[in-house]
Amino acid sequence: MHLLMRPRKRAAQLPAEIEIEIISRLFAALPQILCIAAGLIVGSAIMAVQTGETIFWWLTGAGVVTTLARIANIVGFKRRNPARKLTLAEARRWEAGYAYTAFAFTLVIAALTLTAAAADHAEGFVLSLGLTMALTAGSYLRTLRYWICAVLSTIAIGTLVVAFLRSGDPLYQALSVLLLVYLYSIYESSDHIIGQFEELLMVRRELDFAASHDPLTGLVNRRGLDRVLGEAGESGEALGLLLLDLDGFKLINDRYGHHAGDDLLKQVAMRLKGVVRPGDSVARLGGDEFALIVRGVEDAVALSEVADRAVSVVKAPFMLMGQLVTVGASVGVSLRSGRDSAHWTAEMLTRAADQALYGAKRAGKGRSMVAHWDDVA
């Protein structure tokens, strides 16, 4: 019982997006669920016809009801709005729905086991044993949430062990010992499989982060920027792209060295993150080039204000190697209106912002400029 009741410390340390992904995988098991449900419902109905006992009809009905509840839970999850990302709290509510309908279904199998034991029905024992093995074997191989697998398996196998021990048949009693060993192996195997899968997702997340983020500043890189632009493009929302180049960075880098230049880039990144809202993005594209993505804004004046704030925060002095130094920034702004989303692509948005950036540099640097449709049409 220690393995069943112990806290899952590893799961508590998982990043929210990984826990959400693991929970989402619960809802891919509909074919297996239907196969086991068919065995329970058809088997109980056959036993009801053979024995003429009403209890087996009740078990058949309970199997139908709990199966429908499981199907409704899975279908409801699959039909939710795919454009809206799950929060961890929402994912855990869906998980609870999955777990409790699975437990209810398992209790029907347990009731079938006890009914067969009370009636000394050998065929019922065979049916309940087969359903229990199918349910638990599939659970520890497929259910990547330890608490669900452990509780479900304990209910099903524990009931079968009690029924076998009370049967008085030496063969059944011997089987009960093997079932206890099997239950322990489920705890161990489930814990091991889930642990390895969590580690795999963590490694994949780290590799994905490294591939899409700048190692110096921690901002998204060009690949990450393309991903953000692609996601925003698919949503059709209004989008503002600001491309920013530092003015005078090369002089600082040459005078104080690359270490000081790297420190300056980190400080610029921190200041730019303070310019945008939560949900917006800041990227470093390489060298002294940065980008800001402002989502849900289709007012060029509002975007110009964001660009001017970016110019202002970069213009303020930086402390490098015990000395105050200053650089400037030029910003090019492009806008994709939600009304015109069908006419704009990520490439066009970037090209327009790039042309506006060069326009700001030609106009004297240290300023922002907004691109117009005619610039890229």
Is the Cβ–Cβ distance between 353 and 241 less than 8 Å? yes
**Phi and psi of 245, rounded to 5°?**
-115, 135
* 288 included as an active-site residue: yes
User: What is the DSSP-derived secondary structure letter of residue 297?
Assistant: -
**What is the number of other CB atoms lying within 10 angstroms of the CB of residue 142?**
15
Closest residue by Cα to residue 129 from 151, 152, 112: 112
101, 187, 29, 231: CA torsion to nearest 10: 100
Q: Please, what sign has the CA dihedral across residues 22, 27, 30, 31?
A: negative
CA dist list (Å): 369 to 31, 53, 299: 57, 83, 14
**Which of 288, 299, 340, 354 is flagged as catalytic?**
288
**Crossing angle for the helix pair 16-24 and 170-212, nearest 10 degrees?**
130
Phi-psi region of 157 (alpha: psi -120 to 50; beta: other; left: phi over 0): alpha
Q: Is 237 helix (H, G, I), strand (E, B) or coil?
A: coil
In the block, residue with structure tokens 């993505």: 293
**Phi and psi of 52, rounded to 5°?**
70, 10
In the block, residue with structure tokens 């067969």: 116
Task: Please list, residue by residue across 73-85, b when 16 or more beta carbons sit within 10 angstroms of its beta carbon and e when fewer do.
Answer: bbeebeeeeeeee
Tokens of 67: 């199966």
CA distance 110 to 14: 34
CA distance 268 to 310: 10
Catalytic positions: 288
